[in-house]
Amino acid sequence: MDDYRRRLGDGLDELRRLHSSLYHDKEAFDRLLDMMEVFASCRSDELRALDRKREGDSFWFMGQGAVGMTLYTELYGGDLKGVASHIDHLKDLGVTYLHLMPFTTTPLHDNDGGFAVSDYENVDIKLGTNEDLEELARLLRKDGISLCMDFVMNHSSDEHEWAMRAKAGEKEYQDYYLCFDDRTIPDEYEKTVPEVFPETAPGNFIWSREMGKWVFSSFYPKQWDLNYANPALFAAMVKAMLLWANRGVEAFRLDAVPYIWKRLGTSCRNLEEVHVIVRMIRIILSVVAPAVILKGEVVMAPRELAAYFGTPDRPECHLLYGASGMVNIWGALSSMDTRLLYSQSEDFLALPANAVFLNYLRCHDDIGWGFDEDRERQLGIDPLLHKIYQYEFYSGRFPLSYARGELYNYDPKTKDARSCGTTASLVGIEAALESGDGKALEMALRRFELLYTLVYSLRGFPLVNSGDEVGMLNDYSYRDDPDRKDDSRYVHRMKLDWNKVALSHVEGTVEKRLSDCLRRLKALRSASPFFDPQAEVLTWHAHNDRVFALRRRIGDDLMLLVFSFSPNEEEARFDFFTGLYKDAFTGRIVEPGRGVRLSPYERLWLTRV
């Protein structure tokens, strides 16, 4: 416990000050400290050794060979033991970070894919036991894979014990939520708080008949927002987090973290109290379990993102989802225009070195077309028409679109909508296989390789959505399921086909080409000093808006990474890149400063000869 007491001494004053700024409750703070000591004393010798190894290295997860994967337990392995039985597949792809979608107890129905939590402290019985989770974490750790847990911060299910006791009239648990006797205060909130799902879940409050009260509910009616202004609720959530950290979880994805503090007269998004809470959690983990990191799900405007990293002296999240990058990559592909991608990338790269993004193409969620509208207007792009084009293109409705996808949360009043679909279906593999058009299939495969090569090229590290590696296609069977038919996100939430995994080792198959792409990207990243976390990364213009490029530098050595978003041959030129450069994928020799001819959807990783 000497290490614990030393770390506590380092963080105690700031933690006390932050806690007092929100709660003004010394007894609650003392109880929090007691709880921290209990969890520190219960931490296993193996995890304490990991703490000592990682303490002081807040970027341990950023090795140049780092690769993440996200998956649903039930879709990948059936249950936690099934996931453990397929660790070899993760190792084959070079995965070092495994993000399991929510695995805690949820209601049988209306559980929002696991994001309506009815018990924060136990594994859902459908997926296994707490002991199964601990064993999976141990086996992953043995193979150098860190386990990430989805921690649903903003809301619980209305079937959680806290909610049930609140419904039964217990004031103590009603205070775990934001409950109101009449519409007076809710109506004031509604004046300034945007609706998350205006069509499928309008408004921000639901009526609880059992309590006779209105309850804040930002997302779906079965999800009640938690009241972080209550120190007992904060302590309960910290307890759950420390419990999972002691079971072997090494990373927490903080779901919907910008929403967790409510204040009248505001949007109830990104408030300063949110950052106080995240900073307190960071301090608590650094004291009790310093091997553990925080990943924020912050799907907000780019200007809001930097604050979630905190500062070098007072850090908050270790990394964030690169949602803006994902959106702009898909936007560049459909429009064959990289200008918004350049703008967004330059914004990200201008952030301090502690701003680390987890880069991805697809995840469990939709693609929300949140472009920088001011920048769009500067470029002469109409934001609404551009958004409509994107979701029409990726639904396959736009003339000559190769994509196959679904609309999500279409709002006929605002014309807003999001897009769903697997990577393979969105890049055209589904349509090409249906038509039997070999040329179209080749172009679709090139799009896949282009996009994933870019994801592996960005600052930060890549995240692969389970199923992408073998080209899983959209699953339209959700339309026939009464529990899922109204949520088109289930079109890309299907069981991994292990027959396709077997084909990923068979020459000449689509599955092998896709998996080989990811395996090779992992190998090249791992072997190249240009992907060291300390490498400088900048955008580099190509004198062609259909081409995107990055420059990586270590010392005086340069690497040029080039991506053509065009289905046609293109010319590009890269000033100041004099002399000969060799492509890591093909061995091709080019002179970037004098001009490069690019084939459709070509990607190049160029280093000096």
Exposed/middle/buried for residue 197 (C-beta within 10 Å: 0-12, 13-18, 19+): middle
Locate tokens 């459709």: which residue?
600
Q: What is the largest distance, in Å, between two alpha-carbon atoms of the chain? A: 76
Neighbours of 524 (CB within 10 A): 18
Q: What's the CA dihedral at 325, 331, 337, 338 to 10 degrees?
A: 0
55 is catalytic: no
Q: How far is 514 from 516, CA to CA, in rounded Å?
A: 5
Contact (Cβ atoms closer than 8 angstroms) between residue 325 and residue 348 = yes
Q: Supply the DSSP string of 67-132, one letter for each residue.
A: -EEEE-HHHHTSSHHHHHHTHHHHHHTT--EEEEPP-EE--SSS-GGGTS-SEEEEE-TTT--HHH
Instruction: List the catalytic residue out of 112, 132, 297, 468.
Output: 297
255 is catalytic: yes
Q: How far is 310 from 276, CA to CA, in rounded Å?
A: 10
Contact (Cβ atoms closer than 8 angstroms) between residue 142 and residue 126 = no
Amino acid 586 reads: T
Q: How far is 288 from 434, CA to CA, in rounded Å?
A: 54
Helices and strands: H and E segment counts in the chain:
22, 26
- Chain centre to alpha carbon of residue 313: 25
The b-or-e profile of 311-327 (16+ CB within 10 A means b, else e) is eeeebbbbbbbbbbbbb
Q: Supply the DSSP string of 529-577, one letter for each residue.
A: GGGSTT-EEEE---SSTTEEEEEEEETTEEEEEEEE--SS-EEE--TT-
Which two tokens mark 198? 């205006």
Look up residue 361 and give its DSSP letter: S
Instruction: List the catalytic residue out of 150, 158, 159, 255.
Output: 255
Residues taking part in catalysis: 255, 297
